[in-house]
Amino acid sequence: MRNLRGIYTIWYRDILRFWHDKMRMAGAIVFPLLFLFVFGAGLSARMGFIEPGVDFAQFMFPGIIGMTVLMSSFMAGVSVVWDRELGFLKEVLVAPVSRAAVAMGKTLGAATVALFQGIIILALAPVIGVPVSVWMVAALLLLMFLLSVSMGSLGVLLATRIRSMEAFQVVMQMLMFPMVFLSGVFFPLQGLPGWLSVIVKVNPATYGIAPIRQVMLGSSPDSPFTINVLGHPMSTWDNIAVLAVFGIAIVLLAMWSFSHQE
């Protein structure tokens, strides 16, 4: 019970910090909208239809949702490093709760914030021309939460091993932007050069973006939305399984690393 209360307290603190930081809220929403409307409006005419009935803006829309969730949740590590520099983390670590509970609270806080931002972008679906239904929204919420927990725990894991804010920001950008750009957010997953196809398939973010797009736009084995791994077309459930395994492994590593930091 004490650990559950600790998880809730850390989670609630991160939610309050986000809610009271209006500039952060605005920036987190405006940034993906710039990609969506500038790239979507600028390239739709030239790119045409990715597949029948799906233009480039509609193709990009699920990717932008996934990108928003990924980037926001990955920022979980920033608060860990910031709390360490301010001395707050030292007080938390000596509290009568397990360190693993603190790591889980940080991860869930980041995941909740990321989910909120993803919902705001999802609300623009009628503007983009992507039809949604109740079951689709429910499925997307679960997918966004799974992606946010996986990436949030990765951010926490990195933060346990990086001591300065400057170093963390450099490492975060080195990892986050390649993960975003090489996950199929901006281009179809089929017909890629061999070397690029390999990088895309080993990128865990790919298996978070792909099911979101498959749920929103549908998919078939020969669809440009489908990942082929060793000749096997990855279904929505296949992608979810890969992301879930990755997420569980990273969550456990983050909890272990947080428990063994000085």
Distance CA 134, CA 36 (A): 23
Q: Which of 118, 113, 165 is nearest to 139 (CA)?
A: 118
Distance CA 223, CA 188 (A): 9
pLDDT for position 140: 92
Residue ranges of the domains in the chain?
A: 2-259
pLDDT for position 89: 66
pLDDT for position 234: 80
Number of helices (H), then strands (E), belonging to the chain: the values are 13, 4
- Residue 123, phi then psi, degrees to nearest 5: -65, -15
pLDDT for position 99: 73
Distance CA 162, CA 139 (A): 35
pLDDT for position 76: 73
Q: How far is CA 186 from CA 6, 57, 66, 210, in A?
A: 39, 10, 11, 12
Per-residue pLDDT for the chain (262 aa), expressed as one digit of tens each?
A: 667 777 787 788 888 877 777 776 777 777 777 777 776 666 655 565 666 667 777 888 888 888 888 888 887 777 777 777 766 666 666 666 777 787 888 888 888 888 988 898 888 888 787 888 888 899 999 999 999 999 988 888 888 887 777 787 788 888 888 888 888 887 777 777 777 888 888 888 889 998 998 888 877 666 667 777 777 778 888 889 999 999 999 988 888 877 776 6
